[in-house]
Amino acid sequence: MFSEYGYRNFVTTNRPVSTADTLKKLKVRVTASPVEIEVAKALGMSPTPIAWGETYTAMQQGTVDAEGNTFSLLCDAKHDEVIKYAVDSRHNYCMHILMMNLDFWKGLSPENQKIINEAAQEALVYQRGITAELEAKAEQKFIDQGIKVHKLTEAETGRIQKADPPCLGYVQRHHPRRTVRHDERSSEQIRLIRTFSEEVDYYGNQYGSHCGGSLFTGKTPPRVSADAQ
């Protein structure tokens, strides 16, 4: 089951952000993810890994100037109390993944497998259906509170996206285990990857929720197969 977490967007406490140039030299809170760190570096920012539970205080006290997350999560965590500027950078797309041990799954009866698959599908459609609404409400709350939200133009989005290719090269060089060779995967892994990739491509093309920078439109997604749940 692949439910939507959403796009991370940059927010700051002390500097208006809009184009890629305005992100340079910002001290940005990131997770310990090597990819997230490299993305920040590629944009000219100074990445600082900080635990999520410490981020509010780090922003409040000036340990960092910026962070990246979904607007809805930032509102839920009350980070809107300390931020002043935001940009819909959509620089990082995340998903929630529900997994189960394969041996345990195979040990379940067909009836129980069916129940779990149907419940997962129901939860998936519901979750994806409300994500866009929650994000839009959070953005409006930002605006109502006086937080300046810059909406990127297509050209501005393109300049940010140009920073991505070097990051993939970094992962391939320093974390080869995360980029497994095609011939090292089992036929079952390849089948599942292709199934999921096809459904993500379809979902993105039809509903605007892919990693190329389009915003999730909030339309009901197509049914996802049991293999890709």
Cβ atoms of 207 and 219 within 8 Å: the answer is yes
Express each pLDDT in 2-25 by its tens digit.
788 889 999 999 999 998 899 999
Closest CA to 67 of 143, 148, 137, 13: 13
Say what the pLDDT of residue 38 is: 86
Express each pLDDT in 133-190 by its tens digit.
999 999 999 999 999 999 998 888 888 777 665 666 666 666 555 544 445 555 655 5
Cα dihedral: 138, 143, 145, 149 (round 10): 90
Identify any residues that bridge with 30 across adjacent strands, giving them in sequence order. Answer: 49
Q: Is the pLDDT of residue 223 over 50?
A: no
Phi and psi for 26 in degrees, rounded to 5?
Answer: -70, 140
Does domain 2-228 correspond to CATH entry 3.40.47.10?
A: no
Band of pLDDT at residue 208, cut at 50, 70 and 90: very low
Q: What is the mean pLDDT of the chain?
A: 79
Express each pLDDT in 64-96 by its tens digit.
999 999 999 999 999 999 999 999 998 888 888
Summary count for the chain: helices (H), strands (E): 8, 7
CA distance 140 to 161: 25
CA distance 128 to 136: 13
- Report field, pTM of the whole predicted structure over 0.85: no
Distances (CA, A) of 87 to 22, 42, 44, 66, 166: 10, 17, 16, 11, 23
Mean pLDDT of 38-61: 94
